Copies of this chain bind each other. A is one copy, B any other.
Amino acid sequence: MKIIVLGGDGYCGWATSLYLSAQGHSVAIVDNFIRRQWDHELGAQTLTPILPLSDRLRTWTRLTGKSIELFVGDVTDYEFLLSTVKQFEPEAIIHFAEQRSAPYSMIDRKHAVFTQMNNVVSTLNVLFAIREVQRDCHLIKLGTMGEYGTPNIDIEEGYINIEHNGRSDLLPFPKQPGSFYHLSKVHDSHNMMFACNVWGVRATDLNQGVVYGTMTDEIGLDEALINRLDYDEVFGTVLNRFCVQAAIGQPLTVYGKGGQTRGFLDIRDTVRCIELACLNPAARGECRVYNQFTEQFSKNVREAGKDLGMKVEIDHIPDPRVEAEHHYYNAKHSKLLDLGLQPHFLSESLLDSLMNIALKYRDRVDPTITLPQVNWREPRNERRLQANVAAGISVSAAQPGESRVASGKGKNR
């Protein structure tokens, strides 16, 4: 298939692009590299030394003989997007090109507005481009399980049959998103359902859980293909951050009592779910919703770390988010299994491999960037590089040994 991956230089996008290329699909990446710019804004680099995209793509071609096309530009720029779609004529567009961090969206008003504008406009643009020039193209859009929040009833996949006062209807599942970022995905979902209805667009909304891991078969081929691994408080997803913390002997920063339950999946399952969606396109006018995760649990790295013989400490810090610490959680996720997904469950071997990666790149670990500095309750969070605050030195000179200072309890504002 001819597939465009919007945001193909990012964490999930890069792994997906390689996987799809390896499966024989004709792949084009669209990216504007803003994710790399945020690294600089936040003073937080990926643990793994990722190469520039052009070098990554050259390596891929050298190793496999396969080439991936590249279109450099911003999806919120409609002229650029339209010309890309006209030129490549994709059968599927996978849309990862959104600001994906909840804490980033909660920094302050500008970050909240940016996140919603960037995400909503990019998805509107993709919908209009498909309608205008590529009507049978299937949109596969990354949503998040966080769109649902934590209702006291089972979470269905997108729609729920409601009986009320003797009548019934199949309606969109009510959404209770927990950050301006999660809200942007809810806005996208509503816009997509509408476009499917009025224009007959084919769409799949993948409400993805928290992704962990960094390695896939393709990425493992060569260090030049290495994927990003974020462990900072803003972009680091929880299991990745915990593994890096455990590997360097830093206490895990658990938010509150740590009783929050969420859906999780291995990045190797992300890429397979995306291909399954591509190979089984939605019908004309169908807005299909899949819950894309494989297991739900509270974060249990402490137990896993202990099993691996590591000493894992935990700092229970005040929860910077506004969320229920104890709640019912039972989310359905059978549709991708029905399409043939064979899940990789969280295992010691995965945690082991993640910790080994952290140990391998230990010199690159900045232990001062894991403590939360974005408090949901504040409308304006002035993030500071912790190294400056706690150690009086510039972040470029920060050493792993400073971690105990910077990660002290009670620093969460």
Contact = CB atoms under 8 A, between A and B. Distances in A.
A377 B153 contact: no
Nearest to A132: B379
- Indicate how many identical chains form the complex: 2
A148 to B, nearest CB: 10
Interface residues of A, number: 51
Given A171-B151, A199-B377, A194 B180 contact: yes
B169 A152 contact: yes
A174 B190 CA distance: 10
Nearest to A193: B176
Contact of A128 (B151, B190, B379): B379
Contacts of A132: 379-380
Interface string A165-187: 10111011111111110010011
A177 to B, nearest CB: 7
A164 interface: yes
Contacts of A113: 121, 124-125
A34 interface: no
Contact of A162 (B78, B121, B124, B174): B174
Contacts of A86: none
A124 B184 CA distance: 12
A124 B163 CA distance: 34
Interface string A349-391: 0000000000000000000000000001101100000000000
A328 B166 CA distance: 13
**10 cross-chain pairs, A with B, having the tightest CB-CB distances, nearest first:** A152-B169, A171-B174, A153-B164, A198-B322, A187-B187, A109-B128, A131-B379, A172-B174, A153-B167, A151-B169
Given A172-B176, A197-B322, 16 more contacts: A78-B109, A109-B128, A116-B121, A124-B180, A131-B379, A153-B164, A153-B165, A154-B164, A154-B165, A154-B167, A171-B174, A177-B194, A178-B194, A183-B194, A187-B187, A198-B377
23 contacts: A78-B109, A109-B125, A112-B128, A116-B120, A117-B121, A120-B120, A132-B380, A152-B168, A153-B165, A160-B162, A160-B164, A163-B163, A167-B328, A172-B176, A173-B174, A174-B174, A177-B194, A179-B194, A180-B191, A183-B190, A183-B191, A197-B322, A199-B379
